[in-house]
Amino acid sequence: PGCPRVAAVCVYPDMVATARAAVEGTGIQVASVATAFPSGRAGLPVKLADTAAAVAAGADEIDMVIDRGAFLSGRYLQVFEEITAVKEACRRSDGRPDAHLKVIFETGELQTYDNVRRASWLAMLAGADFIKTSTGKVAVNATPPVTLLMLEAVRDFHAATGTQVGVKPAGGIRTTKDAMKYLVMVNETLGDGWLSADWFRFGASSLLNDLLMQRQKLTTGRYSGPDYVTVD
């Protein structure tokens, strides 16, 4: 019961209202994967409708995935304009804060480190509030080298513009010890200002279970097993 809460729960757009009701009053945010997640294979009107539906249902955050086909074909302006359009769809007309936009690159498909850095700058210039490595649905997801590149891009973008952007490595981070290495990387690259859930997140679907077992070990001196903590 004393374990800190997650920053957000992430659901598909049709489940936003259900999640919103479930976490009401807890301070936990509701994020929604939109824009034809995880493939990104849909026309822009469909992606915008997907986003608008999630925002209208109460999503605090939208996770969009870029069109990797357009990016890898060199159609950078198309990707930029799509991100700006989704960012606009995150706006609310009722006075409530706009939904934050997390832009997913699917770095395992971007082929080169240069492409990862290029995608990072493109997304930040287009208005991303967070840049995120992966959907967690492909063979290669977050890795330390790719995350370091994104952290350095965020550092350089902040130095050039004064705008702070968050970073989220997702997929493939399964142990608490691995997560600590990422936190050291954030501290050494960006500093204490990014060491909060407002500016740095993990995709914790697998990580959370190991973290709970590690906390139980610290409390009891013994590791729990899958009978006590769900390992899925």
What is the set of active-site residues? Answer: 63, 132, 168
Mean predicted lDDT score pLDDT of the chain: 93
The pLDDT, as a whole number, for residue 232 is 55
Q: Which helix (H) or strand (E) holds 131?
A: strand 130-132
Q: Is the dihedral of CA 124, 126, 132, 133 positive or negative?
A: negative
Q: Which residues contact 99 (CB under 8 A, 6 or more apart)?
A: 54, 55, 59, 60, 61, 62, 90, 92
pTM for this entry = 0.92
What pLDDT digit, counting tens, does each position of 165-223 carry?
999 999 889 899 999 999 999 999 999 999 999 999 998 877 888 888 888 888 889 88
Write out pLDDT tens, residues 9-62. Answer: 999 999 999 999 999 999 999 999 999 999 989 999 999 999 999 999 999 999
| Residue range 64-69: mean pLDDT, rounded | 96
The pair of three-digit structure tokens given for residue 118, joined into one six-digit string: 């290029």
Q: How many CB atoms lie within 10 A of CB 46?
A: 13
Q: CATH homologous superfamily for 8-204?
A: Aldolase class I (3.20.20.70)
pLDDT at 120 over 90: yes
In this prediction, residues 81-89 reach a mean pLDDT of 97
Hey, where are the domains in the chain? 8-204
And the tokens for 224? 């729990």
Residues 6 or more apart from 98 whose CB is under 8 A from it? 90, 91, 92
The DSSP line for 19-58 is HHHHTTTS--EEEEE-SSTTTT-S-HHHHHHHHHHHHHTT
Quote the DSSP letter at residue 134.
-
Cα–Cα dist 29/224, whole Å: 29
